[in-house]
Amino acid sequence: MLLKRSIDFGSHENVSYANGKVTLGKVSLNVYSFTVDGVLIDTGSKSLSKYFEPFIMGADIDKVVLTHIHEDHTGCASLIQQKRNIPIYIHEMSVQDCERNPDYPLYRKVFWGKRKPFKAKAIGDTFTSRNAEWDVIETPGHAKDHLAFLNKETGQLFSGDLYVQTKTKVVLREESIPTIIRSIDHLLTYDFNEMFCSHAGYLKDGRKKLELKRDYLVEIQQQVIERYQDGLSPQQIHDILFKRKYPITKLSFGEWDSMHIVKSIIDEGKLPIS
């Protein structure tokens, strides 16, 4: 079964984007890279480098900021460093990891390629573009080093992988639903409406989308807690709340699974059974 790769380009107001897609059978994954006011936000994946390269090389940019270290967001960073020699910024906890060869499962290398090491600098709490100052907002949950970026002049929010979709059904083993809820609540204290998501693209009603996702996750959290305290096992709770099976679970050998949603909620408070 062959991988299919494609990319499309577009823009919204002052933001340009490239949206790369990789498909294998029933599993199709995509990722966005954005440029705005001289800044590139995320770089796309190594597996799509020949598709992202014209966008990146032709962009009028003087710095790169990364929402987190995952390979679909950082895969072309080494290419940028080699060919454009402009600074790249990431959460301080990931600076050293950027310089190492990454270790992640084979299926992710099949989809996203193997990211090459690159040098990055710690981004800090804010950064400036040509015409604006940006807030750098810590939003862990999907990844420990996850950041969102808010353009304080335009009110445009770049949310990385915090949103993706409203009704989350599968997550990575390392993800934490309670932490994601707290990150969304924190983000909602900022003033923004439109949002640019690294997988859903441009969302005019971004604030509303995040509110709906928060409410959905809070409801799931409450149902898990109530059923666990009633004596149901994590597996029983999972089978009640998440009846559908998703191809990514089998393909990833369980790294992506609905069960991680349930377990992260139970593990958060080490909930006792009443």
Could you report the per-residue pLDDT of 94-141, keeping only the tens digit for each? 999 999 999 999 999 999 999 999 999 999 999 999 999 999 999 999
Long-range CB pairs of 90-94 (<8 Å, 24+ gap) are 90/65, 90/66, 90/120, 90/121, 90/122, 90/123, 90/145, 90/147, 91/122, 91/123, 91/138, 91/145, 91/146, 91/147, 92/122, 92/123, 93/144, 93/145, 94/68, 94/69, 94/120, 94/145
How would DSSP label each residue in 21-63? EEEETTEEEEEEEEEETTEEE----GGGHHHHHHHHHHS--SE
The whole-angstrom separation of Cα 75 and Cα 86 is 16
Q: At what angle do helices 259-269 and 206-229 cross, to 10 degrees?
A: 70
Contact 1, 7 (CB under 8 A): no
Residue with the larger pLDDT of the pair 146 and 2: 146
Count of CB atoms within 10 A of residue 137's CB? 21
Instruction: Enumerate residues 6+ apart whose C-beta is below 8 A from 59.
Output: 16, 35, 40
Instruction: Enumerate residues 6+ apart whose C-beta is below 8 A from 265.
Output: 177, 178, 220, 221, 224, 225
Is the residue at 224 inside a domain? Answer: no
Contact 163, 195 (CB under 8 A): yes
Is the residue at 257 inside a domain? Answer: no
Query: DSSP state, 241?
Result: H
The confidence score (pLDDT) of residue 273 equals 46
What is this structure's pTM?
Answer: 0.95
Domain of 198, in residue numbers: 4-219
How many distinct structural domains can be found in the chain? 1
The confidence score (pLDDT) of residue 270 equals 66
Label residue 13 by pLDDT band (50, 70, 90): confident
The confidence score (pLDDT) of residue 232 equals 95
Is the residue at 231 inside a domain? Answer: no
CA nearest to 155, candidates 201, 182, 121, 187: 187
Label residue 85 by pLDDT band (50, 70, 90): confident
- 156 DSSP β-pair partners: none
The CATH number of the domain where 160 resides is what?
A: 3.60.15.10
Reported as a single tens digit per residue, the pLDDT across 39-58 is 999 999 999 999 999 999 99
Is the residue at 81 inside a domain? Answer: yes
Is the residue at 207 inside a domain? Answer: yes
The confidence score (pLDDT) of residue 39 equals 98
